[in-house]
Amino acid sequence: MNTPFESTRQAVLESMLIDCLGHADHIADEVYLHCVVECGVSSADVFYDINGKLYRMRELDGPEDGDRTLALLIRLMDSLDALVGLHQHHAHPPPTGLKLHYDAVRDLLSVAWSYDLQFSDSGTLLPADLFDAWFEEVSMRPRRIA
């Protein structure tokens, strides 16, 4: 049985996933959501596997869809703030990052939480660098052919 903390955290993650799937018009085979919160800096970014090809969220937009991507980012940042607040409210250390992977074909969700500093103590890394590294890591894996 889940505690109120676990249930609420799961609901926030599911909301973030639903927002990401909606942005991809529910055609993504896989969703990769990367979030970072460190030292007052928050970041969220998404990429998708659609028919065996990786797409960054901005690549799914047409010229008239810029507001749609901005709306997704605002919702993700609000959800990220809610996650941090939830952890603090329940006296749990807030995560510094999360990597959410949803395989829509198999209906499998995995979340990797981090609690160590990932970029703020490096002097050179930015949240986008961490996202790009994950994108590159996933791009090297064999892709499913539609």
Which is nearest to 13 in space by CA: 30, 35, 29, 28?
35
Structure tokens of 128? 């986008």
For the stretch 84-94, pLDDT in tens is 999 999 999 99
Per the structure, how many domains does the chain have? Answer: 1
The answer to whether residue 144 is domain-embedded is no
What is the domain range of residue 104? 4-139
CA 142/CA 10 separation, integer angstroms: 29
Q: Residue 103 falls within a domain, yes or no?
A: yes
Determine, yes or no, domain membership for 83: yes
Identify whether 145 is part of a domain: no
- pTM comes to 0.93
Q: How confident is residue 123, by pLDDT bands cut at 50, 70 and 90? A: confident
Question: Per the domain annotation, does 106 fall within a domain?
Answer: yes
Does residue 46 lie in a domain region?
yes
Can you give the C-alpha Rg of the chain in angstroms?
A: 15
Query: Is the residue at 66 inside a domain?
Result: yes
CATH of the domain at 90: 3.30.500.20
Dump pLDDT digits (tens) for 18-37. 999 999 999 999 999 999 99
- Parallel/antiparallel/unpaired status of strands 108-114 and 97-103: antiparallel
